[in-house]
């Protein structure tokens, strides 16, 4: 498997690895994938409740290089975006940015799922209705 | 300076020993004759070289030189042995016994024969990778013509109890075939003492060339015959037609001679390195050796690093040429069927690395490998949500995972 330079860069120097306090009301956590499938992503966002802007994002991923890179890239893109803007991140943008081959597209799908799951968690915690699309890929 | 990447995948193939290459070279150019040409010195020279190689091989495995049938490699030898016995002994019965951890060349050959009417029993292995001798005995029937059990496993290196298995086969009047691809040249293999009737092996797993292998076929007590799988000039006592690969045969012969002379000293050195590698890597928490550590080839270790994904791990150990228990080429991951047969969960099977050392492996390479793997596993675990959960004492089985 030949990885693109961008995948190798994110794998070797992952951005925003870590853990946010999931008990905080303004932190949303998304945990997607399954160990037996070989991919588990946990993506977390911290939202400024006044402005609705994502001020911090962290991830931890169990998976291949493309899965790690997809989640690392996702955290980079999330920071500074409003929650609504973040919902528009499409997995194909990740595929394009990281030059993922067809067999690795599922990694980008998982990253998009993780973003939506994190946002959903944030919404539910703050009394907003659940997103309809949150489970669309399963 | 250490040259990277370091090759530790010697169960896939070994580099050729320069002494083997040297022995082969004249047979490509000056001594290019066809070993079947009986009318001129070119043919005689080639035949002489082949006969000499047969003796070198026979000495290593303690057989008669006439009992060696040259093939293109172990896959062909496996096919010839199993299909050849099935066809030759069709009148006696149609039952074959093998094990779930065999190489694909054995399993797929058996599956092929099932379509043609064979009945095949696939014995399970225990968590050590060993078959149960009582189950083997219970599976024997008057229709059983062949027991096919490998000598040493390619993924985990586990050595079956060959002498006990062959004794059971003999007691019930069945032939015993062993795929000894990983064992010949690495551990003492003696077809007489081991009670083997047919045995497959190949050059490129023991510092010889690729494209040359052999099938040992016993000539007395009992006299074993196999039906040829290719029609042609009737070479190799009619069991395998095709012009002999003289340079390859010379190389296989030389490799067997070197193995016979150097196996003991090689093993002493290699097993110390393997044990050191294993001991150091097991200092990582939640790492496990797969398969029996007691009954095992001296140059292999297969270790699972829990909470680290196999392909990510392979990427992290890019300075090492090793193989992983995960054949991940698509969204649907296929963990190694051998590791699954030991009872490993999918995630643990995915998280495994196989290290295969060789005669050319150095202490310096092992030092590097130890540090490199430790660093990669540690880094990936810091990035792994599963590791964090484990550290927090969360039972991963209690989580409802979203399968994708």
Give pLDDT tens digits for B113-126.
999 999 999 999 99
Optimal mutation site among A17, A34, A38, A95, interface B, most CBs of chain B within 10 A: A38
Taking the Cβ of residue A19 and every Cβ of chain B, the question of whether any pair is shorter than 8 Å is answered with: yes
Query: Is residue A11 predicted with pLDDT exceeding 80?
Result: yes
Contact B311 A37 (CB under 8 A): no
Name the 3-class secondary structure at B9: strand
What is the per-residue pLDDT across A37-67, written as a single tens digit (0 to 9) for each? 888 999 999 999 999 999 999 999 999 999 9
Please tell me the distance from the alpha carbon of residue A57 to that of residue B332, in angstroms, as a whole number: 29
Average pLDDT, integer, range B326-342: 72
> Taking residues A79-96, what's their average pLDDT?
96
* Residues ≥6 apart with Cβ < 8 Å to B375: B316
Q: Is A32 on the interface with B (CB under 8 A)?
A: yes
Q: Is the pLDDT of residue B399 over 80?
A: yes
Record: contact B402-A62, CB cut-off 8 A: no
Contact residues of B toward A, CB < 8 A: 307-312, 315-316, 326, 328-331, 333, 345-347, 350, 382-388, 396, 399, 401-404
Average pLDDT taken over every residue of chain B: 95
Which residues of B are annotated binding-site positions? 74-75, 154, 182, 202-204, 243, 328
Active site residue A107: yes
- Option in A37, A60, A113 nearest B385 (CB): A60
Chain A residues in contact with B330 (beta carbon < 8 A): 103
CB B212 within 8 A of CB B23: no
Which residues in chain B touch residue A62, judged by CB atoms under 8 angstroms apart?
307-309, 312, 383-387
Enter the tokens of residue B283: 């200092």
**Percent of chain A residues topping a pLDDT of 90:** 86
What is the DSSP secondary-structure string of B277-298?
Answer: HHHHHTTSTTEEE-S-SSSB-T
B343: nearest Cα among B98, B122, B130:
B130
Question: pLDDT digits over B134-190, tens only?
Answer: 999 999 999 999 999 999 999 999 999 999 999 999 999 999 999 999 999 999 999
Set of chain A residues whose Cβ sits within 8 Å of the Cβ of B312: 11, 62-65, 67-68
Q: Which pLDDT does position B348 carry in this prediction?
A: 87
Cα end-to-end span (Å), chain B: 45
Q: Within 13 Å of residue B371, how many CA atoms lie on the same side as its CB?
A: 6
Residue range A105-120, pLDDT digits in tens = 999 999 999 999 999 9
User: Which residue in A17, A41, A106 is closest to B331 by CB distance?
Assistant: A106
**Tokens standing for A21?**
């306090």
Q: Is A34 on the interface with B (CB under 8 A)?
A: yes
Size of interface A-B (CB pairs under 8 A): 96
Domains annotated on chain B, with CATH: 6-11+263-398 (3.90.1150.10), 18-259 (3.40.640.10)
**Which residues of B are known binding-site members for pyridoxal 5'-phosphate?**
74-75, 154, 182, 202-204, 243
Judge whether A37 counts as a catalytic residue: yes
For residue B403, the model assigns a pLDDT of: 60
Predicted pLDDT at B333: 62
What confidence score (pLDDT) does residue A1 get?
Answer: 59
Specify which residues B106 forms β-bridges with: none
Assess whether pLDDT exceeds 60 at residue B327: no
Give me chain A's average pLDDT, please.
92
Q: List residues forming the annotated binding site of B for [2Fe-2S] cluster.
A: 328
Question: CB–CB of A17 and B382 under 8 A?
Answer: yes
pLDDT given for residue B371 in this prediction: 98
Note whether A60 contacts B: Cβ–Cβ < 8 A: yes
User: Which chain A residues have a beta carbon less than 8 Å from that of B315?
Assistant: 3, 11, 64-65
Banded pLDDT at A74 (limits 50, 70, 90): very high
List the beta strands (DSSP E) in chain A: 27-34, 39-48, 53-62
Q: Is B311 close to A63, i.e. CB distance below 8 A?
A: yes
B151 closest CA partner among B106, B204, B112: B106
| Mean pLDDT of the region B230-239 | 95
In the set B63, B110, B256, B328, the catalytic residue is B328
**In A, which residues are within 8 Å of B310 by CB distance?**
38
Residue B60 has pLDDT above 50, yes or no: yes
| Closest residue, chain B, to A16 (C-alpha) | B383
In angstroms, the separation between the Cα of residue A138 and the nearest Cα of chain B is: 6
Q: Does A38 touch chain B (CB under 8 A)?
A: yes
In this model, does residue B298 exceed pLDDT 50? yes
Q: Binning pLDDT at 50, 70 and 90, where does residue A133 land? A: low
Here the ipTM equals: 0.93
Are B388 and A60 within 8 A, CB to CB? yes
Residue A136 pLDDT more than 80? no
Segments in B89-147 forming alpha helices (H) = 104-115, 133-139
pLDDT at position A37 is 80
| Among B321, B175, B108, B309, CA closest to A40 | B309
**B350: chain A residues, CB-CB within 8 Å:** 38
Whether the pLDDT of residue B347 is over 90: the answer is no
The kind and range of the H/E element at B40 are: none
Residues of chain A in contact with residue B326, where contact means CB-CB under 8 angstroms, are 38
Percentage of residues of chain B with pLDDT beyond 70: 98
CATH architecture of A5-126: Alpha-Beta Complex (3.90)
Distance in angstroms (rounded) separating the CA atoms of residues B27 and B45: 9
């Amino acid at each position: 498997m030949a990885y693109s330079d961008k995948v190798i860069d994110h794998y070797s120097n992952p951005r925003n690895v870590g853990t946010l306090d999931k008990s905080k009301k303004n932190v949303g956590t998304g945990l997607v994938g399954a160990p037996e499938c070989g991919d588990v992503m946990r993506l977390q966002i911290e939202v400024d409740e006044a402005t609705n802007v994502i001020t911090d994002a962290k991830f931890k991923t169990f998976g291949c290089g493309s899965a790690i890179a997809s989640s690392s890239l996702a955290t980079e893109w999330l920071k500074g975006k409003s929650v609504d803007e973040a919902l528009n991140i499409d997995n194909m943008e990740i595929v394009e940015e990281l030059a993922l081959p067809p067999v690795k597209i599922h990694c980008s799908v998982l990253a998009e799922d993780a973003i939506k799951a994190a946002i959903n968690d944030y919404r539910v915690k703050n009394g907003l209705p659940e997103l309809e699309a949150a489970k669309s890929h399963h | 300076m250490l040259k990277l990447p370091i090759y530790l995948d010697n169960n896939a193939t070994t580099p050729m020993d320069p002494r083997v290459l040297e022995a082969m070279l004249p047979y490509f150019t000056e001594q290019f004759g066809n070993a079947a040409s009986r009318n001129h010195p070119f043919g005689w020279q080639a035949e002489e070289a082949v006969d000499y190689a047969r003796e070198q091989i026979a000495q290593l495995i303690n057989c008669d030189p006439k009992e060696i049938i040259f093939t293109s490699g172990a896959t062909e030898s496996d096919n010839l042995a199993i299909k050849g016995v099935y066809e030759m002994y069709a009148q006696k019965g149609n039952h074959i016994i093998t094990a779930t951890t065999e190489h694909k060349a054995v399993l797929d050959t058996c599956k092929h024969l099932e379509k043609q009417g064979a009945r095949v029993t696939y014995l399970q292995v225990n968590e050590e990778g060993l078959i149960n001798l009582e189950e083997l005995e219970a599976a024997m029937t008057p229709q059983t013509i062949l027991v096919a059990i490998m000598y040493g496993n390619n993924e985990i290196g586990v050595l079956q109890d060959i002498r006990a298995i062959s004794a059971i086969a003999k007691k019930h009047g069945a032939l015993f075939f062993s795929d000894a691809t990983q064992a010949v040249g690495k551990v003492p293999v003696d077809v007489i003492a081991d009670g083997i009737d047919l045995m497959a092996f190949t050059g490129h797993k023991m510092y010889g060339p690729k494209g040359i292998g052999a099938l040992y076929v016993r000539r007395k007590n009992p006299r074993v015959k196999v039906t040829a799988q290719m029609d042609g000039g009737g070479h190799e006592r009619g069991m395998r037609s095709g012009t002999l690969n003289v340079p390859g045969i010379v190389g296989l012969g030389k490799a067997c001679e070197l193995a016979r002379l150097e196996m003991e000293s090689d093993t002493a050195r290699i097993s110390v390195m393997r044990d050191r590698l294993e001991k150091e890597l097991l200092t990582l928490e939640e790492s496990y050796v797969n398969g029996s550590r007691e009954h095992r080839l001296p140059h292999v270790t297969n270790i699972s690093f829990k909470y680290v994904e196999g392909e990510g791990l392979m990427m992290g150990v890019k300075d090492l040429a090793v193989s992983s228990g995960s054949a991940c080429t698509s969204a649907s991951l296929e963990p190694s069927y051998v590791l699954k047969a030991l009872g490993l969960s999918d995630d643990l099977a995915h998280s495994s690395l196989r290290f295969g050392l060789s005669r050319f492996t150095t202490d310096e390479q092992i030092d590097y490998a130890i540090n490199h793997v430790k660093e990669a596993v540690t880094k990936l675990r810091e990035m792994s949500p599963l590791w964090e959960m484990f550290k927090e004492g969360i039972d991963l089985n209690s989580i409802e995972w979203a399968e994708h």
